[in-house]
Amino acid sequence: MYVNESVQRKVWAYDLSGDGAISNKRLLIEFQDFGMDGMRCDVDGNLYIARHGKGTVAKVSPKGELLKEIPLMGKKPSNIAFGGPDGKTAYVTLQDHGNIETFRVETAGREWKKK
């Protein structure tokens, strides 16, 4: 489970047991600038984070490595979701533009993981 603190610019990772118990709090990544908002994982466990004020979506590995930042047209992304027939289209809401921007990703959103 991941929790972000937008003002403090930190993302925390927790272990979540089968019965819902939360444990093992650890810092996944800390950014030096700009805030954060919505987050979603892909099937490989990478975390996509809307960087509010920066106008990007950060792709972070499960180990906390910043893999890349995807630039957006607006500066205030607020939420992100995966969709499309293959789960490889990212949909990002933009507060400052009042619309949704899309881009393609290499790996489908976690919801598309085969069980």
Q: What is the pLDDT of residues 40-74, one digit of tens each?
A: 999 999 999 999 999 999 999 999 999 999 999 99
User: In DSSP terms, which residues pair with 92 in a beta bridge?
Assistant: 80, 101
User: What pLDDT is recorded for position 97?
Assistant: 77
Q: Three-class SS of residue 111?
A: helix
At residue 114, does pLDDT exceed 90?
no
Q: Which helix (H) or strand (E) holds 94?
A: strand 89-94
CA distance 38 to 70: 15
How many other CB atoms sit within 10 Å of the CB of residue 20? 7
Angle at 103 between CA 105 and CA 83, to 5 degrees: 70
